[in-house]
Structure 1
């Protein structure tokens, strides 16, 4: 292995760690807030039509987190001097903070109202992240589209729970 390929490999490993670490942390924080509050609190709430069964959320989020990791990895491995790269990274980080914050607000605080106050700006930041990623790496942007769609659906569910249980 040449020194140059060794440097690229190290860069790839560093990018993998920097992309996976924060996403894993957000997922674990979300799980810690969510799992203890499914039964009995969430199970007893009235839910809107089209609410999926509880077992579907884990696999769906696993797929979404993997896609988020791929997207963020691609941005981190991109041209460091690329126009808008720093802003794209900050947008991704901001939406990720809100991602974990939604679980804490909705499940941890048992507050659909607070959940809605978090998920609305989260969706806006996800869309802004997609736009920023699009300018840098279209595949990275495409990887975030299912996430944006799922969070839009989660916004409907959150609003429905709030309306039906107020």
Structure 2
């Protein structure tokens, strides 16, 4: 419960909204981008380190929840008198890039473009993480697994692109 509190206070409604918004957005994006694309993806040659399909929704739900919680913590710090963080715009940009990647890779089959976009996404996540650390160490720490997963996904994207040129 302490993880949800900022300066000893917990706003249950706002923390729930903060966590659920990226999860719901990611679910809708995944559904729209992956509709009718899974058959094509199954036929692609994939690298040996490609995890089973069931891993992705579990990983992304967890990561979206963690990034939503991180944003909640930064917003709460801002409300209780901390200096205006510049981190919210970079958070929104990285989230938009995250959602866009699914369309590039799955829906439109632009795996090379998706690879370039994911590199930009990774840089934006790193910037957001740095900015979150400036406001709240816990918020910055919550973003670290996301960086790790996107580094892994970048390698997976690259290998899949290379194997299916």
TM-score normalized by structure 2? 0.85
| CA-to-aligned-CA distance 1:78-136 (integer Å, 9 cap, x gap) | 12453351x20001000000010000110011121121121110000000011000010
Of Structure 1 and Structure 2, which has the larger fraction of its residues in helix?
1
CA contact (8 A) 1:116 1:159 kept: yes
Runs in 1 of length 4+ with deviation above 6 angstroms?
none
Per the TM alignment, residue 77 of structure 1 is displaced from its structure 2 partner at its CA by: 1.1
Quote the residue 1:36 is aligned against.
36
Quote the residue 1:123 is aligned against.
122
| Partner SS for 1:114 | helix
Quote the residue 2:145 is aligned against.
146
Distance in 2 between the 1:140 and 1:77 partners?
Answer: 11
CA RMSD of aligned residues (A): 1.9
| CA-to-aligned-CA distance 1:27-60 (integer Å, 9 cap, x gap) | 311332024311x211111112211011111111
Distance in 2 between the 1:65 and 1:30 partners?
Answer: 12
1:114 equivalent in alignment to 2:113: yes
Instruction: Count residues with an aligned counterpart.
Output: 156
Quote the residue 2:158 is aligned against.
159
Quote the residue 2:87 is aligned against.
88
User: Unaligned regions of 5+ residues in structure 2, if any?
Assistant: 1-8
Quote the residue 2:70 is aligned against.
71
Distance in 2 between the 1:53 and 1:73 partners?
Answer: 31
Per the TM alignment, residue 14 of structure 1 is displaced from its structure 2 partner at its CA by: 4.2
CA contact (8 A) 2:97 2:117 kept: yes
